[in-house]
Amino acid sequence: MKITAIRLTRLNLPLDPPFNAAWDPEPRRAFPATLVTVETDEGVVGYGSGDTMDGFEAFEHLFLGTDPLQIINQVRRIETINFHGGRYWPLEAALWDIIGQVAGMPVAVLFGGARDRLPAYASSGELLAPEARAESALAAKAVGFRAMKIRIARDRTDEGIAAVRAAREAVGDDFDLMVDLNQMWRMSGDIEAALPLAKVHRLAAELAELGVLWLEEPLPQVDVPGAQRVRAQTGLQLSGGEMVRSLPEMMALIEQDAFDIYQPDVALAVGMYRARQVAESANLRHRFFTPHTWTNGLGLLANLHVAAGVDAGPYLEFPYDPPGWTPERRDFFMTPITIDPHGDVVVPDRPGLGVEIDHDAVAHYTV
Ligand SMILES: [Mg+2]
């Protein structure tokens, strides 16, 4: 089989009202996405998305005429480009979509087939006042979620703790809460200092009192000793690694026992094939793997297949913070992914990734 064409379709969904992501200093008034379509000489077509693919046109020729089924060669090819420029993992997702269709199986089966569904956590994204965040947690619980992640801004930690406390009081103890400080990577141009270790330590101790399941990326990536101290002294689980730039970087964190939960995104960080190795390495050391998924619905789907295949846990991230972030906005160019009444996200049982592209939406939002 040969790749005959790789098409990048640039999409842009206007957001009105805007979405105020906690990690972004500017309100988001539009949501861009790039849909990767890979065509083959045998008529099989694969789709991927989840990163911008900016600059890919300069490297497209390296893939045309190659065999999409030789996936390790394709992964290595993508990694040679990562070294110099952008990370083109959405292409790998499209190739796995092809491989799954050729095999006649969901990609999750090719990754181990451990599960056909995973419990989802509502991953919120906005900084809300305590009362509003408590209401949102109750609403998430009412639609079936068994867990929610809450963002705390590094310059508003008291308010953040108050929001977690309010959510805990609202939902009770039979609902998991996680907290994300987003200190391990930065939006371009964000040069403010990270929280000092002593402050993170106090924050973690308060979150442990509130029964938080894990604290995500509380420190810069280099501060592995700090993360280990916080874990040892508070008993709180720490997670991280959603945006690491390579597999060796991720493996070094695992070998140092930096975290309890490792979260590389298959669309943004290490790709799908390499994420399986991360999962196996973490599991062998009695640690968790569960990927970051905050891109768009097709990125979420690629992460879901890997996560279900390798038995990720304890939950899968499900970006969800209505009205700012809904499955309809997140998945605007495809049939939206939803949770079932038990709070599980179910792996599509169609061959490949099982995405249902909404071609009318693609045509409408193409820029
Ligand atoms: Mg995070």
Residue type, 167: A
C-alpha to C-alpha distances, 194 to 127, 181, 182, 299, nearest whole angstrom: 18, 10, 10, 28
CA–centroid distance, 8 to ligand 1, in Å, is 27
What's the gap between Cα 256 and its chain centre? Answer: 23
Average pLDDT over residues 327-342: 98
Q: What is the pLDDT of residues 99-156, one digit of tens each?
A: 999 999 999 999 999 999 999 999 999 999 999 999 999 999 999 999 999 999 999 9
pLDDT at 24 over 90: no
pLDDT at 84 over 90: no
Flag the least confident range among 31-40, 76-85, 277-286: 76-85
CA–centroid distance, 88 to ligand 1, in Å, is 20
Q: Are 22 and 285 in contact (CB under 8 A)?
A: no
DSSP state of 248: H
- Topology given in CATH for the domain delimited by 3-104+358-365: Enolase-like; domain 1 (3.30.390)
Rounded distance, CA 364 to CA 191, Å? 37
Crossing angle of helices 89-103 and 272-284, rounded to 10°: 90
Kindly report the length of the chain. Answer: 367
pLDDT of residue 239: 98
* Neighbour count for residue 304 (Cβ, 10 Å): 32
pLDDT of residue 273: 98
Which CATH code is given to the segment(s) 110-346? 3.20.20.120
CA–centroid distance, 217 to ligand 1, in Å, is 7
Average pLDDT over residues 330-334: 98
pLDDT of residue 25: 85
Nearest-5° angle of CA 301, CA 303, CA 309? 100
Q: What is the pLDDT of residues 233-272, one digit of tens each?
A: 999 999 999 999 999 999 999 999 999 999 999 999 999 9
CA–centroid distance, 181 to ligand 1, in Å, is 7
CA–centroid distance, 223 to ligand 1, in Å, is 17
Rounded distance, CA 184 to CA 109, Å? 32
Average pLDDT, the chain: 97
CA–centroid distance, 256 to ligand 1, in Å, is 20
Q: What is the pLDDT of residues 265-317, one digit of tens each?
A: 999 999 999 999 999 999 999 999 999 999 999 999 999 999 999 999 999 99
Average pLDDT over residues 223-228: 98
Flag the least confident range among 183-187, 249-253, 351-355: 183-187
- Give DSSP secondary structure letters for 54-103: TTGGGTGGGTTTS-TT-HHHHHHHHHHHHHHS---HHHHHHHHHHHHHHH
Rounded distance, CA 126 to CA 151, Å? 7
CA–centroid distance, 358 to ligand 1, in Å, is 28
pLDDT at 45 over 90: yes
Residues with CB under 5 A from ligand 1 (ion): 180, 216, 242
CA–centroid distance, 242 to ligand 1, in Å, is 6
Q: In the chain, where are the structural domains located?
A: 3-104+358-365, 110-346
Fold agreement (3-104+358-365, 110-346): no
pLDDT of residue 37: 98
Q: Are 290 and 315 in contact (CB under 8 A)?
A: yes
pLDDT of residue 44: 98
